[in-house]
């Protein structure tokens, strides 16, 4: 299954439960290109301009439930303003942008740890959660504050939970 098919499948599941995202506009794609100095991947811009994923909430099972936590983390897939804010204006994004990491989602569960992909890892890259408070240095953030959520975006979307599940 391709990444686009996996994203379309998630969007269809979300839509069936009454949740709807939006696509990126041409103006938003242009603003991403300018703000990220051309680092925003063409394949991602094409995907998000075709499939209404932006602003949808997705869940992923971090670990099994216990008495105090049901084990699911939630993220919100960012539109252009969120990507620019997290990648250019906030840590850890502004520290790792030069290493090819761009923001794709924000935490919606309260941890404050944003989600990134590497533009250097192909068109179905891993999804990383990056700890927001580990350091302001690129090398330390990437060595000690980067956690792999899924080895490929397509795998993440195939297993992603929709709100209320």
Q: Where are the domains of the chain?
A: 3-162
The pLDDT of residue 71? 67
Question: How many Cα atoms are found within 13 Å in the side-chain-facing hemisphere of 43?
Answer: 13
- Tens digit of each residue's pLDDT (9 = 90 or more) over 63-91: 555 555 566 889 999 999 999 999 999 99
pLDDT at 123 over 80: yes
The pLDDT of residue 163? 83
Tell me the mean pLDDT in the region 104-110: 87
Tell me the mean pLDDT in the region 129-147: 95
The pLDDT of residue 70? 62
Please tell me the CATH code under which domain 3-162 is placed. Answer: 3.40.1580
Check residue 111 and report its DSSP letter: S
């Amino acid at each position: 299954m391709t990444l686009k098919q996996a994203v379309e499948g998630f969007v269809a599941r979300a839509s069936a439960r009454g949740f709807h995202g939006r696509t990126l506009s041409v103006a938003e794609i242009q603003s991403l290109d300018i703000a990220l100095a051309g680092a925003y991947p063409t394949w991602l811009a094409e995907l998000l301009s075709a499939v209404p994923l932006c602003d949808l909430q997705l869940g992923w099972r971090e670990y099994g439930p216990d008495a105090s936590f049901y084990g699911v983390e939630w993220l919100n897939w960012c539109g252009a303003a969120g990507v620019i804010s997290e990648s250019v204006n906030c840590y850890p994004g502004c520290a790792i942008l030069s290493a090819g990491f761009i923001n794709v989602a924000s935490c919606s569960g309260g941890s404050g740890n944003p989600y990134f992909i590497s533009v250097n890892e192909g068109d179905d890259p891993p999804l990383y959660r990056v700890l927001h408070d580990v350091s302001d240095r690129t090398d330390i953030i990437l060595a000690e504050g980067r956690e792999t959520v899924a080895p490929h975006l397509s795998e993440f979307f195939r297993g992603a939970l929709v709100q209320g599940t």
